Amino acid sequence: MQNPRVVLVEPLYQINLGYIARVASNFGIKKLYLVRPRCRHNGKDAIKYSKHAYSLLREAKLCRSIDEATRGCDIVVGTTGLWRKSSDSFFNAYAVQKSKRFLKRNRKVALLMGRDDTGLTKEELQKCDLTIFIPASKEYPVLNISHALAVILYELMKGQLENEDSMEWAYADQKSIAGISRLFWNSIRDRKDIRNKKAVLFAFEHMVKRSGATRKEINAISVALSDKYKKKWR
């Protein structure tokens, strides 16, 4: 896994931004993506608390939406301090230390950090391929956003294999996943026994992305879906 893209949704406090820049720099993050910031991302307090990582704030990419901020990424990882909120959004939540097995074979990971005050909404979590949380005290499970980022980056990036990139060619890319998603949609779109077809499609796409499928696996499944679709319309 390459260094994840850190995306902050509507950051509110300059102090947190400063600390986030510092933590991100500690783990080799080269750029921050800010979605509709509610404070000056390069304000006095942000600069003060970022220390030697001020360049991350100065060069941060400002985005109008989560879709814009995560464009080009293979998998989007949402974060929450209240993991049950993600279960209400249909998709699975994992403790951060257990999520790495879904990410190690995906090249470009977007790490979506919620608002300082309210986190990510259920609708925003639905845009994510999986949701991660940090196991903490039941009495007070929500960490400060900069502290949470430090724990998450440490867990995701420790013990990376130096030669992992040599196998990049073997794994399915976005184009392959988009292709098999279209085939899957063709196989279910006219089925009357499936009420919420879009939810089923989302579940399929997220499952494929989490699996870290190889190109060979995607091609094999594509053949099966294609044959099924052709036979149905003969």
Interval 101-125: pLDDT, tens: 777 666 789 999 999 999 999 889 8
Residue range(s) defining the domain that contains residue 219: 171-232
Q: How many domains does the chain have?
A: 2
Over residues 153-204, the pLDDT tens digits come to 998 887 663 444 555 667 888 888 899 999 999 999 889 899 899 999 999 9
Measured over all CA atoms, what is the biggest interatomic distance in the chain, rounded to whole angstroms? Answer: 68
CATH of the domain at 131: 3.40.1280.10
Task: Look up the pTM and report it.
Answer: 0.73
Query: Does residue 34 surpass a pLDDT of 80?
Result: yes
Task: Specify whether 37 is located in the same domain as 146.
Answer: yes
Is the domain of 74 the same as that of 41? yes
- Beta bridge partners, 119, equal 115
Same domain, residue pair 127 and 30: yes
Are both 75 and 150 inside the same structural domain? yes
